[in-house]
A = this chain, B = another copy of it.
């Protein structure tokens, strides 16, 4: 640890807010579960499946429709639009760096990316298939997919479980390292402006790091499947909650049915947050400055001065990393006919 970082931690400790500031750079590779090591063949297959809209009921919605890797890994909408123009209730979380989440979805209802990948397929307001096996039947009808599955998984490989593994493997490559923040943490003092460095200190001293810690700013490293949740809003006695309807969604309670989970949400990553507006689980806030003010008030009961908000936003801007170049996959045709038409 270099002196700069040590001094920031010290500042945080003195302010009484920061328990264990630990500024971490984003790893270049993501952890994978033991039964699904990331391989090139899986990643290639996963990219095809991720981009292919033919596994939605209308043939118009792919994973990438709402989690667009050409953008911030989301869709710029408050809530996503699936088949037939239907909209869901929550903001699409970014797929970038989703490999560093210990659980998936806003309410943590899936442990792994492998589980998450199956969810939207059969969701009536997302991809709208009757069930995931029906979607897989479409994959099986496309001869060009067979050799790609075989290469990734061996013989008789065209199963839902393998399709989900492949998509998860692709998603684990969606990492954005080398942000100005990362370069700063690794020792390049010029990577952050003076304002960004002030913002970094204020981010810690205000208390943001009590939840937004770790390399992905989504909490401490947890065992896979163990979520790191926070109650949002924690402090409801303010104008923001009503204005942005922040208490309507019961969060994890809607997944577990337990009152103790009311308004608990997985702490989202702050990586590339400049590119993932609008903000919060309901996508109701379309300004990063306002989002910072709201978080300070609803989570820490603090009214941040404008200068602090500006400095913290400047710091958050330093969390936007380098997006890797992705080549478009060829989506194999069913020669001479379309699987979408009877």
B-binding residues in A (CB < 8 A): 51-54, 58-60, 65, 68-72, 75-78, 81, 83-86, 273-278, 283, 286-289, 313, 317, 323, 325-331, 333-342
Contact = CB atoms under 8 A, between A and B. Distances in A.
A333 to B, nearest CB: 4
A287 B58 contact: no
Contact of A85 (B85, B277, B334): B85
A120 to B, nearest CB: 14
Given A274-B336, A278-B338, A337-B288, A81 B58 contact: yes
Nearest to A80: B60
Contacts of A53: 68, 75
Contacts of A274: 333, 335-336
Contacts of A331: 68, 70-71
Given A59-B77, A341-B77, A336 B313 contact: yes
Contacts of A341: 76-78, 277-278, 283, 286
A77 B75 CA distance: 23
Contacts of A339: 76
Contacts of A289: 336
A328 B70 contact: yes
A33 B289 CA distance: 47
A95 to B, nearest CB: 13
Contacts of A338: 76-77, 277-278, 286
22 contacts: A53-B68, A58-B77, A59-B77, A71-B331, A76-B339, A77-B338, A84-B85, A85-B86, A274-B333, A277-B333, A277-B334, A277-B337, A277-B341, A278-B338, A278-B341, A283-B341, A286-B341, A288-B337, A317-B335, A326-B328, A327-B327, A328-B328
A58 B83 CA distance: 13
Nearest to A84: B85
A179 to B, nearest CB: 14
Contacts of A335: 274-275, 288, 317
